[in-house]
A = this chain, B = another copy of it.
């Protein structure tokens, strides 16, 4: 029986395993999982730490028994130490240190990412946390329960930073969020990122932008976060959430090619340069459908898609990864912020002639109770009229994320901004307007394009 070995039991690895088993049950499938938590939704850790999810066990996308029930073998608490492409084996070590050589016919590397360690002095001390694995989550939970911190600093205003600022505030902790750039959530343009910052303010979180954190000092029982411009905030707890880097050392050591971000280079079939070795998820590069080149954009949704393609191809299939559109969404308190495609600056860099316009409109007819304002930005190419990207911020009940997905579907199909107006979108007063907000934003862009006096915002 041919053997598919998979390194990594998170989204990419388990997706690969399930898809392989589905398309070609003639293969035996083994997944090497570093901890005891295969297929856990690590995206869910902030909600558990904030108390919205009561039991960490619920974070499992699937239980280990369910995966094994599909005929997939799990090697829990095993670590891959070396890949030997010439022999088609992987050295795997269990938690007692016992080593074995596991033969493979195909190998999928889904080793994920590890937290980026920014150049801040004092990261290695009690009370300073990163958040990536279930173990990281347990360590932070233990500290929260044992120490009952009253104040915290979150370093980094990206998705995890924002979600953890909310989570810690929910626990009654006085939170300061520190961001290096001039606004939080820099995957969106500053005017929309600012709305997210204000939402945190309303929940009692202090947001400090434009601060380069330089050191974390300890004085007695307290930590002090020191940054540029005289920034200094004392806290009982510091969470560093400044992004991730691909976990590709094992692959590199085996001759697997990596790119400028240190992530594994893959074809759209998710093949690496080494025969019979595939890679998927946060350890690998991602093909960007609009930029038509590879980027590093570690996201759970992409890991699932890449894993599915890798798993299918590893057992003889012919699947291709269609590419990312850069779609991302985060809920922060009562706001949702989402984007897809390119921002103005990204489009300009990719040699488009972008115009971005912003409108404020309503999610549904304002006469019907519960209408919320939506802030939408649309980026399109002046020359061709092609849609390049969209960003929306609005209330969590305002269907922001699926509205961004309408833009994503349009981007997938290389639609023009004007054509958005032609789509027969659903309308009923409690849920939308006759021209949906998506179309109001498209119309505003068309006006902006037609009138050179309209200043882009």
Q: Which residues of A contact B (CB under 8 A)?
A: 11, 41, 43-44, 47, 52-53, 58-59, 61, 159, 289, 299-305, 322-331, 336, 338, 340, 365-369, 396-397, 399, 401-406, 408-410, 412-413, 415, 419, 421-432, 434-436, 438
Contact = CB atoms under 8 A, between A and B. Distances in A.
Contacts of A423: 322, 325, 405, 408-409, 412
Contact of A299 (B323, B327, B427, B438): B427
B426 A340 contact: yes
Nearest to A45: B429
Residue in A336, A365, A403, A424 with the greatest tally of chain B CB atoms within 10 Å: A424
A430 B47 contact: yes
Contacts of A404: 426
Contacts of A304: 434-435
B409 A410 contact: yes
Contact of A413 (B61, B365, B405, B413): B413
A299 B428 CA distance: 10
A47 B368 contact: yes
Identical copies of this chain, number: 2
Contacts of A431: 329, 331, 336, 396, 401
A426 B327 contact: yes
A43 B408 contact: no
Contact of A401 (B368, B396, B421, B428): B428
B412 A424 contact: yes
Given A331-B431, A431-B329, A367 B44 contact: yes
B426 A301 contact: yes
Given A52-B368, A403-B402, A430-B331, A425 B44 contact: no
Given A41-B367, A301-B427, A413-B413, A405 B408 contact: no
Contact of A422 (B303, B322, B340): B322
A369 B48 CA distance: 11
Given A399-B401, A406-B402, A428 B325 contact: no
**Interchain residue pairs A-B with the least CB separation, the first 10:** A402-B402, A322-B422, A409-B409, A329-B426, A58-B367, A301-B427, A413-B413, A325-B424, A304-B434, A399-B402
B365 A428 contact: no
Nearest to A43: B429
